[in-house]
Amino acid sequence: MSLWALIVNQYASKAGLSGMDPSVIYQRFHFCDEPNCLMELLFFRQEAVPPPPLPIVINRYSDDQLRAIIKLMRERNAIYREKVADQYASSPEISPPTKLTLAAWTTVDMMLKPIEDKMDSVVGTTIDPFTDRRYIAWLSLVTLAFNYNTWFLTARLCFPYHTESAIPYWLAVDLLADLIYLTDNIIFQPRKQFVKGGDIIKDRVMTKQHYRDSDRFLFDAISTLPFDLLYMQFGFKSIFRFNRLLKVNTFFEFSDRLESIMAKAYIWRVIRTIGYLLFMLHINACFYYVASDYQGIGQTTWVYSGLGSAYLRCYYFAVRSLINIGGLNEPHTVFEITFQMTNFFTGVFVFSSLIGQMRDVIGAATAGQTYFRSSMDNTVAYMVTNHIPSLVQNRIRTWYTYTWDAQGMLDESELLDKMPLVMRTAIAVDINLATFQKIDLFKGCDQQMLVDMLLRLKSIIYLPGDFVVKKGDIGKEMYIIKSGAVQVVGGPDNSIVFVTLKAGCVFGEISLLQSSKDGGNRRTANVKAYGFANLFVLEKKDLFDILVHYPESQKVLARKGFFTSKKKGLALFGPKPPTPKLLRAFGGNINKNLIDKMKVATIYCSPQRHYFYMVIAQTP
């Protein structure tokens, strides 16, 4: 076969013409001679094997999701095909409960219904596990029963405490702990509310089914199985009660709930860490007694001698051994040396972990104090570097100390900014809304506008003698006294006290509405702090930003601003219209002379509802 014939056959097979009569193939390519045949084959290769088109992807995420779904459906089809071929293959879906299981649970519910109905009046149909203090108190009782089992089962397993006189007492306490476990499984756990799809499920049937479908129910059920009945066959041994330790989830739940309601949660964290340490020493004491019994009580100087309280002596050995205090008797046998070396290595690991955990707990508890001290130290270093006078340095130190002692932080806004808007609003309304509603200037305004104003308040602490406002300053803020007192002073050296304003009073609100034209928004009196004063401040800019959304409240404030601002008017709501020419010609000179000789400054205190007038006579 010639070369061109081989090439023809190769490309014919790629074109799907293999197996056909050669004459037909030659007609397809119109062969005339070998050179033309080669050219024709190259042309045919370009036409017959075009490059595959790229897939059109409109949305990459949607395309990936669809491909993933197709892959899962193919895998599922493969599983079902396998099941068709093998009738014993398992299904990929969860099998529904059988009729026998449903009948068993129905019988259990019918038996427990009288008890559950009686407990409805005590604990309610369902329980909020996060806020219900009764549930947290119950968890403390279950945790006590769990700790009893954890500590005493290990001690009873290792030490010879199962004497004939003590067995009845152990049985009684064991039955009491089991009763607490059963009550928790039957009454409390099936009533716990849960969240599903963002909704809080409070239906008893659904909460009960949710508990029974959870892994916790499986552990709780195993923890209450009565393996104690094996006592009758094998004797009174605490190892048959070790399934009670599966109730450990209750301990961790109680720990989390207790931390959430405590004002100083680090106290419980420290207690819990110390408890872990004591339990590790307890386990080591049990192991030491078992090792001593294996070697022979009192047989060597390293083992327990058999004198005194066995538990206390072994616990003392565990403390000295795990903490690596030293002064222990030297081990002699290979078993004793191995045990002691294991003790040393375990002690190093466990105690380094516990010390690190304790450091984290204490560090978290004192994080705020550390931040305060660091801020104060940096400020003092800055003042020393810039040679600030000692008087100013002392006042700044006083401000830091008092601010931290008064509110436990330097800036309240740092804490509130981390909260959602709804929670910040609730806190602001609870603290200041009642005071705002008593201010005459804001009476008749929209309540939501008052709430928006509360969110713009800023807390500032003034030291004794600090001037809050000075006469002649531009008025850009209004003040609400949160705690402490301020005084309106005047006269030579500001020695005359006109009035003292205490917590709940408001001043400076008129300057928010005064026009800046011709100095209409300037302060008309001096106000200084009398003692330490904590004030809320609302700036004019914030008020104007809020009023844009409340046109009706704008009109209310405009009317009140017109009467309180006298002749200056409001820049926000437009200039005051000019006086008619006839009225000005008739009484303009008289009114002008009278106004030029008198100036009135008004300061309002909301709880007492008094107006203080300061009249300054001006000589022509």
Q: What is the pLDDT of residues 575-620, one digit of tens each?
A: 445 555 554 554 555 455 544 444 333 334 444 433 333 333 333 3
Q: Which long-range contacts (CB under 8 A, 24 or more apart) does 428-432 make?
A: 428/454, 428/455, 428/457, 429/454, 432/457, 432/480, 432/536
Of 203, 225, 258, which residue is a domain's last? 258
Q: Are residues 266 and 339 in the same domain?
A: yes
Q: Residue 108 has what pLDDT?
A: 85
- Chain centroid to Cα 427, Å, comes to 17
Token pair recorded at residue 433: 């809304």
Q: Looking at the structure, do residues 300 and 428 belong to the same domain, yes or no?
A: no
The tally of CA atoms less than 13 A away on the side-chain side of residue 412 is 16
Whether residue 503 is contained in a domain is answered as yes
Which residues have CB under 8 Å from 140's CB, separation 6+? 254, 258
Residue 22 banded pLDDT, cuts 50, 70, 90: low
Structure tokens at 489: 């002073």
Residues 223 and 301 occupy one common structural domain: no
Gap between the Cα atoms of 365 and 236, Å rounded: 46
**What does the block give as tokens for 394?**
């002392």
Which amino acid, residue 322? L
The count of structural domains within the chain is: 4
Report d(CA 475, CA 514) in Å as an integer: 8
Domain shared by 324 and 437, yes or no? no
Q: How confident is the model at residue 362 (pLDDT cuts 50, 70, 90)?
A: confident
Q: Is the distance from CB of 428 to CB of 454 less than 8 angstroms?
A: yes
pLDDT above 90 coverage of the chain, percent: 20
**Other CB atoms within 10 A of residue 256 CB:** 12
Last-in-domain residue among 258, 275, 293: 258
Identify the bridge partners of residue 246 per DSSP, sorted by sequence position.
none
**pLDDT tens-digit readout, 71-111:** 988 888 888 777 666 655 555 555 556 667 778 888 888 88
What is the number of residues in the chain?
Answer: 620
Check if the beta carbon of residue 240 is closer than 8 Å to that of residue 263.
Answer: no
HSE, CB side, 13 Å, CA atoms: give it for residue 249: 15
Whole-prediction pTM: 0.62
Neighbour-count burial of 285, counting CB atoms closer than 10 A to its CB (0-12 exposed, 13-18 middle, 19+ buried): buried
119 lies in some domain: yes
* Residue for token pair 């029974």: 212
CATH number of the structural domain spanning residue 530: 2.60.120.10
Same domain, 271 and 216: no
Note whether 166 and 275 are same-domain residues. no
Contact 337, 331 (CB under 8 A): yes
Q: Does residue 344 surpass a pLDDT of 50?
A: yes
In the predicted structure, residue 381 carries a pLDDT above the cut 50: yes
> Radius of gyration (Cα) for the chain, nearest Å?
43
CA trace torsion 34, 35, 41, 43 (10° rounding): -160
The dihedral built from the CA positions of residue 139, 141, 145 and 150, taken in this order, carries a sign that is positive
Q: In terms of residue numbers, what domain contains 521?
A: 412-572
CA 101 to chain centre: 40
Share of the chain above pLDDT 70, in %: 76
Tokens representing residue 248 in the block: 């450990």
Last residue of a domain, one of 93, 110, 141: 93
At 480 the three-state DSSP class reads strand
